Amino acid sequence: MKQASHGFTIRTPGRGLTEITGEVAGWVTEQSMKNGLLTVFCRHTSASLVIQENADPSVLHDLNDFFERAVADDLSLYRHTAEGADDMPAHIRSALTQSQLSIPVAQGRMALGTWQGIYLFEHRTHGHERSLALHLMGE
């Protein structure tokens, strides 16, 4: 059994989904492991990770719209307000999604479905530099 770890940062443009499939897939390929399990971990509490459709961009727009309706940027709703109107909603959005993903690796590639991509979901309104950790175990 082999293991490999890697970290990288990504600058987000602000609230929304940024696809990171290509960067993650490239690193997995470089590890030359045929089969294993990949963990992708987001090191933040106001951003998260999701696996979502990468073919029709209207899916991403609808997800963003849903979260806008479900979790309002309204200071009157929250106690934690020191970092602005978008901070506590960002923490709630992150709690509703995931901070890490587990993805099988088969035949040297992530075993994602045909229309699946990996996305960093930025929950703050302004762009941030986000740090991700990758860990692959396999053979």
Print the domain residue range for 80: 26-127+134-138
Query: What are the structure tokens assigned to 62, written together?
Result: 């609808």
pLDDT tens sequence across 26-80: 999 999 999 999 999 999 999 999 999 999 999 999 999 999 999 999 999 999 9
- DSSP-derived secondary structure for 94-138: HHHSBSEEEEEEETTEE---TTEEEEEEE-SSS--EEEEEEEEEE
**8 in a domain, yes or no?**
no
**1 in a domain, yes or no?**
no
pLDDT tens sequence across 114-130: 999 999 999 999 999 99
**107 in a domain, yes or no?**
yes
**3 in a domain, yes or no?**
no
pLDDT tens sequence across 66-109: 999 999 999 999 999 999 999 999 999 999 999 999 999 999 99
Give the CATH number of the domain where residue 46 resides. Answer: 2.60.120.460
CA 54/CA 32 separation, integer angstroms:
25
For residue 84, the model assigns a pLDDT of 95
For residue 123, the model assigns a pLDDT of 98
CA 16/CA 6 separation, integer angstroms:
24
